[in-house]
Amino acid sequence: MRRIWYRHDQAAVEAALERKQPPDMATTMSSGPLDELVGLHEELGILNALDDVQTDRRRRGIEDSLLLRTAAVLPFLANPSLTAAAGQLFGEPAILLRLGWSPLQIRIGDNERHRDRRHRRIESLPCSPETLRDGLERVKEEVWSKVQRIGVKALFQRGLVRGHVYAVDGTGLGRGLRLVCLVCVSQKRVVIVAWRLLTGDASEKGKEAAVTRSLIEQLLEAGGPGCINLLLADALYADGPLLAWCKYVHGIDVLTPVPGDREIHRDMEGLAAGGLLKFERLEYVRTIQGHKQWRKVDLGARTGLTSWDSFIQAAKKYGATEPCLWACLVRPVEPTNPEDRPWTLVSTRDWPNGIAGYQAFRKRWHIENDGYRELKEGWRLEEQRWSRKFVVQLARVTLTCLAFNTAQMYLMHHGKKIAAKGIRRLRRTYRKELGRTPVVVYYSDAFGVVSVEKLLRLVGVPARQSLLPMVPLGEPP
């Protein structure tokens, strides 16, 4: 991709405007949230990572790296479909310039779908949305895994992922598709640190723990040893060998519920029936799909349990001499749902009591309420997958998860500081007297930034009234 750099020469630009010399191009300086999100996306290395992507074939016309950079911005837009989002983005010339589109491409297009310019439509400038979709189809599946790793590693390098508690769970994205994510739930804003889009055999029951293991390995690669000390896992994504591997190979404790047909749950029920469990009552408010509910549970905990055979056997293979588990029997009080039955929470960590373990596990709900719910309702990931082809759906998921993380960082104090550094170079010239949307004017190899009122004055048609802040008395106009 060829880039042309302009120097900042305010005097030369203003002189050219006074001579009525036509500029090369002019655009308002975008200064809204989209501009800042794109700037932060670039600071985190997402756009640069897409520049290095190798596609299946070379094609004439627009470079694939430019198409991928453009597609990476689409999830930030309000319109969830690829066509609608592209149409909205193509109306933002300041953003397109930042992404690498040339002024000529923005004006007349460069998609070669209609070599005769007379047949090109305004909605296909600078390119047709189908050209973006074609570009995504040319990227191999394993490439998106590499882009995912680069994007997440940048968050750790910037110190944006804090805390050592993570949750893993999955959610459906329509027929035959399932998204499984490993999410940091330690901080106020959740961060997706690893994910897999599964289909067919890869999502069959019995293979979920293998997916969890690969996600943890990817996390350790990005964050380094010790970045995680507690994993909150849904029952489907944890089995005995996984618990042993986490505990005795990587020093990661696991906290997971078990179904009622497991032997360890039946043991806890037997201990309770024999009066060998001391129950404590916990009352709290939980939020499910945006609705708050008052809830009461009785909790009875016990340590030293050995009735999970696969865990015990795997732990001994890893060198554990006397492996055992902690468990807590959870009994809902005054249940309102017929499915709200007693269940057991199991952990490789000895919690001081049932309340401590249960409260720790409650953080797992962040992956549902703040993660999947946001991806589906806010980012419309399930509704709009951009194509029926899996490779494009994988691209949509990857770009959306990366954009989700960038948006989460943008809402954090530290992330806003980084976003401020990522705003394009022209914004360094921003001053209050220029107003909210100053105009950037380009001449040859120079650019200048002027307010709309000053631009009109320089070309000889000044406005009779100005909305810019008045210059205080004693200061030069």
Tens of pLDDT along 139-159?
Answer: 999 999 999 999 999 999 988
> Which is it for strands 253-258 and 230-233: parallel, antiparallel or unpaired?
parallel
DSSP conformation class of 395: H
Q: HSE on the CB side for 272, CA within 13 Å?
A: 20
- At residue 477, the pLDDT reads 41
DSSP conformation class of 77: S
Q: Is the pLDDT of residue 76 over 70?
A: yes
Contacts of 174 (CB under 8 A, 6+ apart): 382, 385
- At residue 420, the pLDDT reads 44
Q: Which of 177-181, 380-384, 453-457 has the lowest mean pLDDT?
A: 453-457
Give residue 200's region: left, alpha or beta (phi > 0; psi -120 to 50).
left
More reliable by pLDDT, 195 or 474: 195
pLDDT confidence tier of residue 415, bands split at 50, 70 and 90: low
Q: Which of 163-172, 387-396, 446-455 has the lowest mean pLDDT?
A: 446-455
Structure tokens at 163: 């805390």
Average pLDDT over residues 71-86: 89
Q: What percent of the chain has pLDDT over 90?
A: 44
- At residue 56, the pLDDT reads 64
Q: Which of 84-98, 244-258, 360-374, 461-475 has the lowest mean pLDDT?
A: 461-475
| Separation of alpha carbons 46 and 248, rounded Å | 35
- At residue 221, the pLDDT reads 96
Q: Is the pLDDT of residue 423 over 50?
A: no
The DSSP bridge partners found for residue 441 are 26, 448
Q: Is the pLDDT of residue 69 over 60?
A: yes
Average pLDDT over residues 70-78: 90
Q: Is the pLDDT of residue 404 over 80?
A: yes
Among 126-140, 306-320, 336-350, name the most confident range. Answer: 306-320
Q: Which of 211-225, 306-320, 366-380 has the lowest mean pLDDT?
A: 366-380
More reliable by pLDDT, 267 or 287: 267
Question: Mind listing the pLDDT tens digit for each residue in 12-51?
Answer: 888 888 888 888 777 776 556 777 788 888 888 898 888 8
CB atoms inside a 10 Å sphere around CB 94: 19
| Separation of alpha carbons 86 and 84, rounded Å | 5
Q: Is the pLDDT of residue 118 over 80?
A: no
| Separation of alpha carbons 62 and 59, rounded Å | 8
- At residue 77, the pLDDT reads 86
Structure tokens at 367: 């992956």
Structure tokens at 151: 């994007």
CB atoms inside a 10 Å sphere around CB 417: 9
Q: Is the pLDDT of residue 468 over 50?
A: yes
Total H helices, total E strands in the chain: 19, 13
Q: Is the pLDDT of residue 7 over 80?
A: no
- At residue 337, the pLDDT reads 75
Domains contained in the chain, CATH given: 1-29+430-458 (no CATH), 30-141+382-422 (no CATH), 161-378 (3.90.350.10)
- At residue 206, the pLDDT reads 56
pLDDT confidence tier of residue 417, bands split at 50, 70 and 90: low
Amino acid at 172: G
- At residue 346, the pLDDT reads 97
| Separation of alpha carbons 89 and 71, rounded Å | 10
- At residue 227, the pLDDT reads 95
Contact 82, 386 (CB under 8 A): yes
| Separation of alpha carbons 273 and 266, rounded Å | 10
Average pLDDT over residues 454-475: 66
